[in-house]
Amino acid sequence: MRAFDPRKGLDTYRRLRRGGSLAASPPTLLAAGFLALIAVGTLLLSLPFAGASQSLTFFQALFTATAAVTVTGLAIVELHDLSLYGQWVVLILIQTGGLGFVTFAVLSAIKLGHRMSLRQQTLALEAFNQTSTARLRNTAMSVLRITVAIEATAIVLLFLWWWGSQRMPAATALYHAVFHAVAAFNNSGYALFEGSLGGFVSDTPTIAVLSAVVILGGIGFPIIVEVMQKQRWHTLQPYVRLMIVSALVLNLAGFAGFWLLEAHNPKTLGGLGWADQARAAWMQSVSMRTAGFAAFDLSAIDDSTALMAAVLMFIGGGSMSTAGGIKLGTFVVIMAAVFAYVAQRKEIVLMHRTLAPEMVQKSLAVVVVTVLTAVLGLMLLTIFEDITFISLLLEVIAALSTTGISQALTPQLSTPSHCVLLVLMFMGRIGPLTLVYSLAIRNRSHSRVRHPEMEFQVG
């Protein structure tokens, strides 16, 4: 028997690496990056001084880190139970997870003057939901500039208002302004105030600033860049105009729905004046896709309101944004396909543009996979918990859409249910990327074989 030559084994490994046999796919690398962030966050939150009065258990640290990195906001440990150090760790995880580690990786590569390899470009394209490497660097730089500009503006406005009008100490006002500006732009839903934003329904400037930041963070970076460059409505691309109109319609529909459904509920909006009701309903509508702030007691809402909230969370925000959900564009494509079928049109047309069949198939796949995942998660929670169905539904959709809205239910759940939520939060953050990549791989090879059509009854 011939002796094993380590050099030959190393050469074989290198050839396999060059051939791609051992190379991980971009979604795998993205998932590994988020897992690494979660691991680092868990270790930092496991330190004895991360808790305000007592140390966090390993599972508490893991759950908190996962919720922060995936910008979900579900909590089994409240922020006031963390020390200042623990809160800063959460804030950094929110910022890093919201923008994505790939943004910082691309910016670092640009800063160092290195040319990105094809694999690195593919990884970045998956994270940015882009199809061309030509605009990749501009996109990465735009993400950073937009983030800094919006968050800095919000910090200044909130600091000046809370320091002057709310009579907060300067240091407290600054810290709260930084934390809530970052949390709002990254659509995480974490709030340092007791009852989230329930104490600010009479505060128009606070509601206006935070709702504007949430909308900007959830609309998508390409939309913001396009608006900044064109600045005129008629010169915007049809996709951009459609996304702006769709976001406005959904926000207004949610605003009207929350107000009408909860106006007579004394535990939510019923005890407020009409102006406070309007502010609370608007903030809750904006936050439901998918920021996670609460403008009133969500544990007391009617089932009809909870169902509407679940739909808004499921839809989520825009593509290439800090929001989650199936994405607004996916929802628009599915609805356009339904209307085209009802109207008996062969082509699906939006803004005088025809949608490709592959786009419809991709949107349908995203919706079906998300629904099946939600159903499986909900089934597991109904097995583990003896809690009302609608509350468990909200919990599952909040985790999968990375919204974080909860009816004060998360801390009461059992450990198996918490494990289910951990998986749902992680899948909600990286799941669509994995699905899109797998679909793209399948579409690269087209079979030359054509099979006869089959009669199949549906509907």
pLDDT tens digits, one per residue of 115-148: 566 666 666 665 555 555 556 566 677 788 888 9
For residue 105, give the nearest of 83, 67, 137 by alpha carbon: 137
Each residue of 309-342: pLDDT tens digit? 999 999 998 877 888 889 999 999 999 999 999 9
Q: What integer pLDDT is reported at residue 104 of this predicted model?
A: 59
The predicted pLDDT at position 137 comes to 65
Give pLDDT, residue 4.
43
**Per-residue pLDDT for 22 more than 50?**
no
Is the model's pLDDT at 86 over the cut of 70?
yes
Instruction: List Cβ neighbours of 22 (8 Å cut-off, separation of 6 or more).
Output: 13, 16
Cis peptide before 206 (omega within 30 of 0): no
Instruction: Round to whole Å and give the CA distance between 79 and 52.
Output: 9
C-alpha 324/C-alpha 215 separation (Å) is 13
How many beta carbons lie within 10 A of that of residue 228, not counting itself? 12
Higher pLDDT, 442 or 175: 175
CA distance 199 to 220: 29
- Quick one: DSSP state of residue 325? S
pLDDT at 39: 96
Q: Which residue has the tokens 């910090």?
A: 155
Q: What is the mean pLDDT of residues 345-373?
A: 88
pLDDT score, position 32: 81
Task: Give the rounded distance of the alpha carbon of 378 from its chain centre.
Answer: 20
* pLDDT category of residue 358 using cuts at 50, 70 and 90: confident
236: pLDDT strictly greater than 80: yes
Quickly tell me which residue has 């190393």 as its tokens. Answer: 10
Nearest to 351 by CA among 249, 224, 236: 236
Q: What angle do CA 427, 430, 432 make, to 5 degrees?
A: 90
Find the mean pLDDT for residues 413-421: 96
| pLDDT value at residue 20 | 45
- Give the predicted TM-score (pTM) of the model: 0.85
Please write the tens of the pLDDT for every residue from 63-72.
999 999 999 9
Return d(Cα 37, Cα 62) in angstroms, integer: 11
pLDDT at residue 303 above 60? yes
Q: Which two tokens stand for residue 154?
A: 């919000």
Alpha-carbon span 190 to 72, nearest angstrom: 9
**pLDDT reported for residue 321:** 80
Sign of CA dihedral 225, 231, 236, 242: positive
Question: Cα(128)–Cα(274) distance, rounded to whole angstroms?
Answer: 42
- CB within 8 A of 113, min separation 6: which ones? none
Q: Which residues are within 8 A (CB) of 153 and not within 5 positions of it... i.e. 6 or more apart?
A: none
